[in-house]
Structure 1
Amino acid sequence: MNHDVIVTCALTGAGDTVDKHPAIPVTPRQIAAAAVEAAKAGATVVHCHVRDPETGKPSRDTALYREVMERIREADVDIIVNLTAGMGGDLQIGQGERPLEFGPGTDLVGPLERLKHVEELLPEICTLDCGTLNFGDGDFIYVSTPAQLRAGARRITELGVKAELEVFDTGHLWFAKQLLKEGLLEDPLFQLCLGIPWGAPADTTTMKAMVDNLPPGATWAGFGIGRMQMPMAAQAVLLGGNVRVGLEDNLWLDKGVPASNGQLVERVIEIITRMGARPLTPAEGRRKMNLSRRA
């Protein structure tokens, strides 16, 4: 069991959740305010996507990331910022017998283009999604090929940013370890992402199997989506890991009760403290993850 827990809050994500919740953070001001709320609730890390302020749709606009970062840094809180680098891998296959007529949901760019905001803003952590995945029941695929991952890993290492490897299935973990074997990453973090159709399911057997295949001494966290958010958080702590909660992964505090990011952080901290663990402060989290503080 892990008694000293890094608590990450994933604030908004890129999912189609704006019309499913009364207060999904959309604008940079709202996303930064959610980060401050999570920090005051006891989070160690905030994981940030950005959205188009006019439409609420996911965005890769560096200016939006910059505003979020500036607003967080100007606030009277200390929090570790983890920026997604997963945007730009969406492929909507054409329907039926016309698969090459890609749909309007396609947003597919190269591995270095996905890191433009990371290169400019230099957060303490950024993500690297470690494989291609059928995403849901339709024709969407998240694309991240071995060649793209090698290029992305190499660039993240050159920038001196800590990589958090997003692992959605067992093959993703296999390839993440290959990146380490090839010397393309240095001391990365691992995030076990469970419950996304059709990746690894959110259950004890799957999480334990993935944990058993992590590199020795790896710093890792795990999460489940939806109703499995809190059960998988408890399971991660029992297996020696850290936790992630937030509106990116789950919209509800209780059945029929919309959550805020701060409330989800408070709920998971209550769970882990009742288990005999404690949440780490950002300063303690930096030491545990071997981060250097950025201005």
Structure 2
Amino acid sequence: MINRNVIITCAVTGAGDTVGKSKHVPVTPEQIANDAIAAARAGAAVVHIHVRDPQTGKGSRELNLYREVVARVRASDVDFVLNLTAGMGGDLVLDPGDPFKAVDGTDLVNGLERLPHVEDLLPDICTLDCGTLNFGEGSQLYISTPDMLRTGAARIQELGVKPEMEIFDTGHLWFATKMVEEGLIDPPPLFQLCMDIPYGAPADPLQLQAMVNRLPPGSQWAAFALGRMQMPWVAQAILLGGHVRVGLEDNLYLDKGVKATNAQLVERAVALIGNLGCKVATPDEARQMLELKPR
């Protein structure tokens, strides 16, 4: 069951409200690109990239920001598998007193409008968030309906990009498996099991095992959990046969009270993989395992 050749993904920045919490969270395109390169040098075969508004630090869908980041990393001498988020554009924040009124923080567009940077830049992988979720406290929802998902999956398939299906709860996995059955996802399907995001699947080893048991035969998969569960989840995923994800999108700390860099988190994962008697996959090995199309 244990995975002996482990792909490390580093999620370098995300879109969460973390910029003011750590000086290491990259914000500008140059900072994001530099962190992606550093993470790859540390051992990440895949780097997962969001962009942020350089003025506010908030998550962005601005195409030119993606273009600058991708141009910088492609011009570098460091090889890695490029994974761009396509999850932005799903935020709906409701007025608690008027559920028909969207308020500040809402950024909700249809499935195709979440993909212009994927169409323009043709990364190796892009994410596909496979369901709607109550996103933490308050009145924020992440919206990803079956119609949106089928439309997005079909376009991603046309582009020849590998979708990384992000699974935040068991119902998301049910629907993602249905898209595989419908032929909207080319083999091998790639799943990212996202644990401990309020209020989705908890970071419980039995919950992870149950989700792994429901994956279609031949799937490739990884898992991550937030905060202090990040490194324990590296071990959990490997022991169940999966790949891993670390990075400042999900966790800001290397140790208690010690703020991390992305490269340090990758280095910690590399050491843990080695201590389990496994090896870290190279970018070329990742491309082969995931059957990525040549770029």
TM-score over 0.5 for the pair:
yes
1:45 aligns with 2:43: no
Q: Aligned-pair distance for 1:292? A: 2.7
Partner SS for 1:22: coil
Match of 2:207 in 1: 206
Match of 2:165 in 1: 165
1:216 aligns with 2:180: no
Task: Give TM-score scaled by structure 1 length.
Answer: 0.98
Q: Percentage identity across aligned positions?
A: 62
Q: Which letter does structure 2 place at the counterpart of 1:99? A: P
Q: Aligned-pair distance for 1:138? A: 1.1
1:108 aligns with 2:108: yes
Q: Work out the number of aligned pairs and report it.
A: 293
Match of 2:98 in 1: 98
Match of 2:228 in 1: 227
Q: Which letter does structure 2 place at the counterpart of 1:258? A: K
**Quick one: distance in 2 between partners of 1:17 and 1:100?**
29
Deviation sequence 1:6-28 (CA, Å, 0-9, x none): 00000000100011111210000
Task: Give TM-score scaled by structure 2 length.
Answer: 0.98
**Quick one: distance in 1 between partners of 2:4 and 2:38?**
24
Match of 1:183 in 2: 183
Match of 1:134 in 2: 134
Partner SS for 1:101: strand
Q: Which letter does structure 2 place at the counterpart of 1:212? A: N
Partner SS for 1:243: strand
**Quick one: distance in 2 between partners of 1:24 and 1:100?**
35
Match of 2:143 in 1: 143
Is residue 129–residue 165 contact of structure 2 (8 Å, CA) maintained in 1? Answer: yes
**Quick one: distance in 1 between partners of 2:22 and 2:79?**
28
**Quick one: distance in 1 between partners of 2:203 and 2:138?**
20
Q: Which letter does structure 1 place at the counterpart of 2:231? A: M
Q: Which letter does structure 2 place at the counterpart of 1:275? A: L
Match of 1:284 in 2: 285
Partner SS for 1:36: helix
Deviation sequence 1:102-140 (CA, Å, 0-9, x none): 111000001001011000100000000000000001111
Is residue 44–residue 79 contact of structure 1 (8 Å, CA) maintained in 2? Answer: yes
**Quick one: distance in 2 between partners of 1:27 and 1:242?**
29
**Quick one: distance in 2 between partners of 1:56 and 1:265?**
23
Q: Which stretch shifts more, 125-134 or 285-294?
A: 285-294
**Quick one: distance in 1 between partners of 2:172 and 2:263?**
30
Q: Aligned-pair distance for 1:184? A: 1.1
Is residue 160–residue 293 contact of structure 2 (8 Å, CA) maintained in 1? Answer: no
**Quick one: distance in 1 between partners of 2:153 and 2:105?**
26
Deviation sequence 1:10-59 (CA, Å, 0-9, x none): 00001000111112100000000000110110110000000001110100
Q: Aligned-pair distance for 1:165? A: 0.2
Q: Which letter does structure 2 place at the counterpart of 1:163? A: P
**Quick one: distance in 2 between partners of 1:292 and 1:146?**
26
**Quick one: distance in 2 between partners of 1:85 and 1:230?**
25
Segments of structure 2 that go 5 or more residues without pairing to the other structure are none
Deviation sequence 1:150-174 (CA, Å, 0-9, x none): 0000000000000100000000000
Partner SS for 1:99: strand
Q: CA RMSD in A?
A: 0.7
Q: Aligned-pair distance for 1:101? A: 2.1
Match of 2:65 in 1: 64
**Quick one: distance in 2 between partners of 1:112 and 1:14?**
20
Q: Which letter does structure 1 place at the counterpart of 2:69? A: V
Deviation sequence 1:195-222 (CA, Å, 0-9, x none): 0000000110110000000001200000
Give the ranges of 4+ consecutive aligned residues of structure 1 lying more than 2 Å apart after TM superposition: none
Partner SS for 1:100: strand
